[in-house]
Structures are given as C-alpha cells and as structure tokens.
A and B are shown apart, each in its own frame.
Chain A
Amino acid sequence: QKEVEQNSGPLSVPEGAIASLNCTYSDRGSQSFFWYRQYSGKSPELIMSIYSNGDKEDGRFTAQLNKASQYVSLLIRDSQPSDSATYLCAVRSGGYQKVTFGTGTKLQVIP
C-alpha cells in the first residue's frame, strides 16, 4: 500500500465549477497535511496546509481533513483554466520532518 494515494486523473471540470481532489494516507500518526500545485516543468507551489480535523478555507480553496478516515481533500471553487495543473497531496508523519508526496492528480479546467 502506498503511503499517500491520489487518483492520477486527469480530472476534467468546466470553468466555474467546483473541482474536488482527494487523497488518502496510510500512517495514522500523520500530523501535517499539505496541498501543492505543480505546473508542467515547474516546481511545486504550496497552496494549503491543514493540521486538524475539519475544513480550512483560503480564497477559492478549501482543504478538508478527516483523520479517522485518513482522508484529506482539496476543493477549488469557481475553477479557472489557470488552475489546470497537477495537485500534489503531501503528508508529514509525527516526529519527522520528512514529507511524503502522492503522485498527484492532474486537473484540467475546460473553458
């Protein structure tokens, strides 16, 4: 079982719709959760971090964490073509600085 799992996609949504990206993780001791956006040929860019159960909103982005289900998600409201990228879920286990990344979900926003 992979430590951090994401559907590779592509996930296609029309412009203006809500994009929902999901991630599961295997280590119950995980304490920090991150979403990164990566454009083709570029390095990852931090979008959101979340540390406790529930929702965290920042502009058009909402991160959701459910530690009991070992599940973290990212919602993008009013999706724009510029949101088309690969979204990486990353998880830090307790006691370590190492962050484990999923393979990413490719999002395509169709104008």
Chain B
Amino acid sequence: DTGVSQNPRHKITKRGQNVTFRCDPISEHNRLYWYRQTLGQGPEFLTYFQNEAQLEKSRLLSDRFSAERPKGSFSTLEIQRTEQGDSAMYLCASSSTDRGNSYEQYFGPGTRLTVT
C-alpha cells in the first residue's frame, strides 16, 4: 500500500484568507480522519468519514471549518477566515473496516499551516 498523502505540506497564509487542504487515504481505506496538532500537544480529533458520510465531528470544530469526502476517496478540509490560532499541523489518517484491526489509524505527513 502507498501511504496517506497530504497536500500541500506547508501553507503560509494571511489572517482572514481561506485555505483548503487535501488528503488521499491509503487505497481502499474507507475511513478517513482529520486531526489538528499544536506544539507540545497530541493530535486533536476534528472529524471522521466513513466512505462519503461525515459521521463524527468535534464540538471544537467551529463553523469556519468544513470537510468533505464527496466520492469516498480523497477528502478536503477548508478553513475560512483564518485566524492566528489556526496555526497548527493538520493531520489526516485512514483506516479500513476490511481488516481485523479496523481501528488502527495510519497518518499522513501532515500540512503545516502558518497564519500571519
């Protein structure tokens, strides 16, 4: 399997701009997750898709954040009107229900967002 890929790897944007990140999961993984990680903290759950359905969403996810997975393959995470507090590493992970260890999540390299 090729691993989870994320693009871009780095993004610098000015406060108030919109940004969009893409995640391509491991092929045939039907579950996809987004996390955010800041320095010195563990990854923080944002949202989860099974196929194209968004099934879980963190209460911490403000309405400026939206995620999609329209065809059950790749996913996008959009942040509107970015704020300096959005600066973080955005991580995507995927897992499969077709294997015994269906809860094991495999992470992509992440997208590092800097809001100036």
Contacts and interface: CB of A to CB of B under 8 A. Distances in A.
Contacts of B31: 97
A49 interface: yes
A17 interface: no
Instruction: Give the interface size class of chain B.
Output: 20 to 34
A22 to B, nearest CB: 15
A99 B35 CA distance: 10
Nearest to A48: B104
A43 interface: yes
Given A32-B103, A43-B91, A92-B103, A100 B108 contact: no
A31 to B, nearest CB: 8
A8 B108 CA distance: 24
Contacts of B74: none
Interface string A94-108: 001111111110000
Interface of A: 4, 8, 32, 34, 36, 42-46, 49, 88, 90, 92, 96-104
Q: Which are the 3 A-B pairs with shortest beta-carbon distances? A: A101-B42, A43-B107, A32-B103
